[in-house]
Amino acid sequence: MSTSETPAPGWQESIFSVLKQGGIRQVAYVPDAGHAHVIRRVQADPEMRDIVLTTEEEGVALAGGAWLGGQRSVLLMQSSGVGNCVNMFSLLQSCNFPFLTLVTMRGEYAEFNPWQCPMGQATQAAMELMGITVHRATAPEEVEDMVGAALDAAFEGGQRVAVLLSQRLIGRKKWVRQ
């Protein structure tokens, strides 16, 4: 960590710990600042594999392939990526694969970018329409238990589950001119 970096909030470390203890071996993602701490921790862990995607829908197929290959995976994405996945979500239901995704939300609390609002507002409904159970974490103290429960529901219960990490939880994003 450079001296200019601040330590990650404890809830972000809790996410990594839950994934590690829950046997997640493949972590797919399109790079996102809200997931950066977990991604760095996965990259440093020799028992876990980070997989950078070109589009979030690839992560849905990866989750199915990981399960068929005997491994557990998680898809990390931002709410704007959910729209890219809607058609691919049918694979999960048709093939009855377990699925876990953690979604950092945009288009909510103190959003500065109006382009993020439509998909941010439609994320939960779009996922529920595709048969995915959705939980929303809004406070740091609920993240660890919620992610753990979602992981168990997916891999012990065979469900398709998403945890939405609210924009308020992540913190205000600010436009920075370079």
Which domains, ranges and CATH numbers included, belong to the chain?
10-170 (3.40.50.970)
Q: What mean pLDDT do residues 100-115 have?
A: 85
Instruction: Give the pLDDT of residue 41.
Output: 97
Q: Which residue has the higher pLDDT, 69 or 169?
A: 69
**pTM of the full predicted structure?**
0.92
Dump pLDDT digits (tens) for 70-105: 999 999 999 999 999 999 999 999 999 999 999 999
Q: How confident is the model at residue 173 (pLDDT cuts 50, 70, 90)?
A: low
Query: Is the predicted pLDDT of residue 109 greater than 80, yes or no?
Result: no
Those residues whose C-beta lies under 8 Å from the C-beta of residue 100, and which sit 6 or more positions away, are: 24, 63, 72, 73, 74, 75, 150, 151, 154, 155, 161, 162
Q: What angle do CA 91, 95, 101 make, to 5 degrees?
A: 55
